Structure 1
């Protein structure tokens, strides 16, 4: 996965650099090439950061705060930000009417929710609908995020950060990186789990399940 995404960005940088080197471009074309080179470099930087972040978590080198928090507030804020950046989608939020209190690191839990919602908004078809809900089930807090219009249905490689099958994935979702694998690690390291269900004609739903405080 990382190898393929990094190679894609590097090929873009190389090709655009050659265009500038060979000359013949207008000033505006040079600026366009430079902007794209900068964007590709940022993508590589993000991918490397994700790789190190996931490795630190999987090898026990990351520390987490342990704070009581209401997940409803975090989810609401994440959805507000997502609506501002994914205007091509309808994002519906249904929240529990009572506080959903968990113990954990608020920043990391926010990151996990952002990663999953960002993955879904980045892979859902334009004009599609994304549903987000929070609820209390027995002794666990559940944040569910789903859509009927995702372009893929098999998420195991994404959740576990596997590298070997990335070339088989649709080009439309290249760039999602290790977001889901990082989200899974964050939730698991704080006593929870991430579940995924895919139902024909009903779409796919991610469930971030955390022990209630």
Structure 2
């Protein structure tokens, strides 16, 4: 009797192992059907169901990223060709035999320079993206006054003719002192990051958009809040905002950006040990919260 029970149990276990092997093959082949979690092997079945769910979620994420990558490559290809057309066109005009005035030549040259500068920025973004993805970006961190840095950066932006009529309100909490404002960061990379966030608010938020920069320290965390009163974004846009291949649509005119700025900004912040999050809704503006530990 004991022998028969042992054989029966052995057959049961063998059958269960065979089903387990088949289930793993099905998960690998993306043809697994979730089973009911019952019986002696319910914990194992539950784990298989969860594994299948994770695999399928990973597949969806990979497909989404790949679609964004293809779209981004298509956009970048178009953006590289766009400035090349006027550069080539005006170069041909300058090289033909027709007589041209000095003002005409100067105007053509200015257009060519503007488009060449755009191409240079695009290539720089692509290079920086590659460096960040492969952990090859050199970083020069030095202890500096973060409040002074952000204040001077805001003034620099407002001194540019394009933004001289804009407004950046600057607020600093009472617990910020010369000592607590000292933070170790790469000035060049931080300039790129916060300049991108502020200018993005002006470009995408509407002509009357104002930006507020708030700095505070709490529980050894440095908090930098960049908010605006612009047109805001939908939940779908904020969910994809930091995707490396995503380009937002929340702008009245075509942006000259590369679609890499916010992804690069997020990577630079994380490279300094920080985090960045965004909250926004249509008609209610947008707010970025950047936090750094250890201050």
TM-score, normalised on structure 1?
Answer: 0.83
- Picking from 88, 112, 123, the partner of 1:48 is 123
- Picking from 202, 205, 211, the partner of 2:287 is 205
Q: How many angstroms apart in 1 are the aligned matches of 2:205 and 2:282?
A: 15
In structure 2, what is the equivalent of residue 16 of structure 1?
90
In structure 1, what is the equivalent of residue 108 of structure 2?
33
Larger Rg: 2
**Runs (4+) off by over 6 Å:** none
TM-score, normalised on structure 2?
Answer: 0.62
In structure 1, what is the equivalent of residue 24 of structure 2?
none
In structure 2, what is the equivalent of residue 183 of structure 1?
265
Structure 2 spans left out of the alignment, 5+ residues:
1-74
Alignment partner of 1:95 is 2:177: no
In structure 2, what is the equivalent of residue 71 of structure 1?
146
In structure 2, what is the equivalent of residue 122 of structure 1?
203
Q: How many angstroms apart in 1 are the aligned matches of 2:213 and 2:231?
A: 15
SS of corresponding position for 1:136 = strand
Shifted more, 16-25 versus 88-97: the winner is 16-25
1:14, distance to aligned residue in structure 2 (A): 3.1
Q: How many angstroms apart in 2 are the aligned matches of 1:44 and 1:160?
A: 22
| Alignment check: 8 A CA contact 1:122 1:173 kept | no
- Picking from 226, 232, 235, the partner of 1:145 is 226
For the structure 1 residues 19 and 150, does the alpha-carbon distance in structure 2 shift closer, same or farther, using more than 3 Å as the test? farther
SS of corresponding position for 2:253 = helix
Q: Which has the higher helix share?
A: 2
For the structure 1 residues 39 and 197, does the alpha-carbon distance in structure 2 shift closer, same or farther, using more than 3 Å as the test? same
1:117, distance to aligned residue in structure 2 (A): 1.5
Q: How many angstroms apart in 1 are the aligned matches of 2:252 and 2:119?
A: 17
Alignment partner of 1:2 is 2:76: yes
Higher relative contact order, structure no. (Cα contacts within 8 Å, ≥ 6 residues apart)? 1
Q: Which has the higher strand share?
A: 1
- Picking from 235, 243, 246, the partner of 1:160 is 243
CA RMSD of aligned residues (A): 2.7
For the structure 1 residues 66 and 91, does the alpha-carbon distance in structure 2 shift closer, same or farther, using more than 3 Å as the test? closer
SS of corresponding position for 2:287 = strand
Structure 1 spans left out of the alignment, 5+ residues:
none
1:2, distance to aligned residue in structure 2 (A): 3.0
1:151, distance to aligned residue in structure 2 (A): 7.4
Q: How many angstroms apart in 2 are the aligned matches of 1:137 and 1:74?
A: 20
